[in-house]
């Protein structure tokens, strides 16, 4: 999305790095939950983590894959977590369909060791843990717990022989993300809650307090630079920043789409337009909000001021109810 890192994104990268250091020293696996609404930057946070752990070739044919990333929204049965992990590591899905869960997990542990996987990211996990029958949810949680435990078939033998190097390689940093429902689902399972004890919330950006809106302005600056609009866009322009906020509802992917469309329009060499006119046209094309008459970049100063006052009142009530 951008090179700008929100505070929660920085925190996640730091916790993942600390978790890797801990597991390398023989500590337990580390579980991290990242709950938050759509459009808060969770996907970009995972991009940042993955970017720090690129695959690489070892001496010989083996590929080292420090990090694997899954979308839980695509998982459809109790077998699919280990199968999806194996598929990410290069094992064909056709050969996995007839395997039972125990065999799949044993194969997965061997693959994780061979690829020296240190971090596993599972996004949109609320879709997986909350759907289906009670039995399915229980088995889903069990698969996740087993992954955290990383108990190999020869685990007892290794403890007896003191194979500390092999023991270290079994431990993982597991990052799971989803809506706030995910946090509640994990809290309802004492075994999962004890394993996923680190929670890093992805808060939605708001117009108030000022710290949150400063983050929003920083993202405007980043997008303006990325899409060659820096000469046209002034993030410190209160009216323009407020229009951007109302245009995308502080949904960062919609904000990105808005700037991308503005850049495309500008490259068509249309008749000269002010910045507000350009973004008004971009907003209508992107369709971030359905009603064209509510195009914030077409509002008068009075209409924009009234919208800011309403937003201040609404957010004030929300803060007061917490």
Sequential pLDDT tens for the chain (322 residues)? 456 799 999 999 999 999 999 999 989 999 999 999 999 999 999 999 999 999 987 767 778 999 999 998 777 665 578 888 988 888 766 566 656 777 888 888 888 988 999 999 999 988 777 665 565 566 677 888 889 998 655 544 443 434 444 444 579 999 999 999 999 888 988 889 999 999 999 999 999 999 999 999 999 999 999 999 999 999 999 999 999 999 998 899 999 999 999 999 999 988 999 999 999 999 987 755 544 458 999 999 999 999 999 999 998 888 776 6
Contact (Cβ atoms closer than 8 angstroms) between residue 216 and residue 210: no
pTM of the predicted model as reported, rounded to 2 decimal places: 0.88
Identify the pLDDT of residue 302: 96
Identify the pLDDT of residue 163: 45
Structural domain boundaries in the chain: 7-199, 210-321
Identify the pLDDT of residue 159: 39
Identify the pLDDT of residue 317: 83
3-state helix/strand/coil string of the chain? CCCCCCHHHHHHHHHHHHHHHHHHCCCCCEEEEEEECCCCCHHHHHHHHHHCCCCEECCCCCEECCEEEEEHHHCCCCCHHHHHHHHHCCCCHHHHCCCCHHHHHHHHHHHHHHCCCCEEEEECCHHHHCCCCHHHHHHHHHHHHHHHHCCCCCHHHHHHHCCHHHHHCCCCEEEEEECHHHHHHHHCCHHHHHHCCEECCECCCCCCCHHHHHHHHHHHHHHHHHCCCCCCCCCCCHHHHHHHHHHHCCCHHHHHHHHHHHHHHHHCCCCCCCHHHHHHHHHHHHCCCCCHHHCHHHCCHHHHHHHHHHHHHHHHHHHHHC
| Domain boundaries 7-199, corresponding CATH code | 3.40.50.300
Identify the pLDDT of residue 100: 75
Give, in order, the Cα–Cα distances in Å from 183 to each of 130, 229, 261: 11, 38, 35
Angle of the 275-286 helix axis to the 252-267 helix axis, nearest 10: 110
Termini Cα distance of the chain:
31
b/e burial code for range 39-74 (CB count within 10 A of at least 16 → b) = bbbbbbbbebbbeebeeeeeeeeeeebbbbbbebee
Identify the pLDDT of residue 215: 95
């Amino acid at each position: 999305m951008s090179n700008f890192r929100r505070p929660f994104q920085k925190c996640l990268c730091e916790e993942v790095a600390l978790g890797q250091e801990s597991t390398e020293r023989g500590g337990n696996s580390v579980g991290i939950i990242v709950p938050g609404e759509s459009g808060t930057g969770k996907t970009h946070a995972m991009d940042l983590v993955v970017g720090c752990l690129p695959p690489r070739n070892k001496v010989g044919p083996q590929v080292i894959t420090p990090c694997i990333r899954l979308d839980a929204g695509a998982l459809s049965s109790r077998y699919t977590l280990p199968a999806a992990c194996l598929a990410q590591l290069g094992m064909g899905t056709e050969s996995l369909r007839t395997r039972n869960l125990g065999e799949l997990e044993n194969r997965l542990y061997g693959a994780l060791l061979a690829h020296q996987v240190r971090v596993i990211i599972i996004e949109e996990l609320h879709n997986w843990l909350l759907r289906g029958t009670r039995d399915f949810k229980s088995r889903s949680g069990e698969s996740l717990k087993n992954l955290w435990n990383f108990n190999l078939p020869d685990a007892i033998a290794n403890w007896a022989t003191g194979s500390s190097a092999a023991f270290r390689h079994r431990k993982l940093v597991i990052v799971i993300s989803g809506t706030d429902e995910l946090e509640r689902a994990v809290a309802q399972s004492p075994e999962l809650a004890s394993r996923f004890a680190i929670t890093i919330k992805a808060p939605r950006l708001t117009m108030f307090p000022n710290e949150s809106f400063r983050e929003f302005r920083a993202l405007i600056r980043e997008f303006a630079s990325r899409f060659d609009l820096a000469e046209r866009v002034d993030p410190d322009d209160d009216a323009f920043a407020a229009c951007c906020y109302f245009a995308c509802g502080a949904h960062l992917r919609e904000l990105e789409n808005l700037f991308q469309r503005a850049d495309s329009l500008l490259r068509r060499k249309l008749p000269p337009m002010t910045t507000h006119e350009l973004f008004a046209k971009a907003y209508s094309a992107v369709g971030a909000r359905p009603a064209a008459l509510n195009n914030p970049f077409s509002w008068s100063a009075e209409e924009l001021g009234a919208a800011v006052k309403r937003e201040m009142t609404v957010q004030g009530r929300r803060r007061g109810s917490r």
